[in-house]
Chains A and B, each alone.
Chain A
């Protein structure tokens, strides 16, 4: 089946640094990708919708200047956590919608730990 790859799968960084997470659709084109955040033992919360070639749409309460999203091609969206702090530590999951088939596929997730 279709695959969505996230990289890195886990990352540890120091407080104040920026971290970039990539989300790639490997065998389909995705004009729309989604970024979710999941804290331990909680559900997934939609952070933003990433649209190829245009600005991302952020959910209420998500700081767009802190969580920078770039969707520069039909197969790649990136999430950059700027000036990361320990409270940003979380499991970040992306999903991508196949532009032709309409199906939605989830990435493997990226675990961010900020020290």
Chain B
């Protein structure tokens, strides 16, 4: 069964700092997703990574995928308060499995 592990589960950052969230998965998959969830809301799609070595960037967020290591990273550059949310990685196609989520808090 596909397992998806995220770490850290909780992350408190100062504004302006950089940090990385890690997502490991247990079996081969052809796609990996990153989502953002604000309290009480559904998921907002951030990135879809489809191939080994894929790197995508949007604003202060950059996601990468290493299918050989079964690892994806979400890198946050110069964090701002607006990035405070829970971030999920998810793997799979029809049987998509989610990581536990990383609750990010960015403090002034």
Interface residues on A, range: 10 to 19
Judging by beta carbons under 8 Å apart, are B95 and A44 in contact?
A: no
Closest to B92 in A: A46
B58 at the interface (CB under 8 A from A): no
Q: Choose one: B41, B88, B96; the contact of A108 (CB below 8 Å).
A: B41
How many chain B residues sit at the interface, stated as a range, is: 10 to 19
Residues of B within 8 A of A32 (CB): 94
Q: Which of A44, A49, A93, A109 contacts B94 (CB 8 A)?
A: A49
Q: Mark A18-49, 1 if CB is under 8 A from B, else 0.
A: 00000000000000101000000111111001
B43 touches A93 (CB 8 A): yes
Give the 5 A-B CB pairs with smallest separation, nearest first.
A109-B42, A106-B43, A43-B98, A44-B98, A108-B42
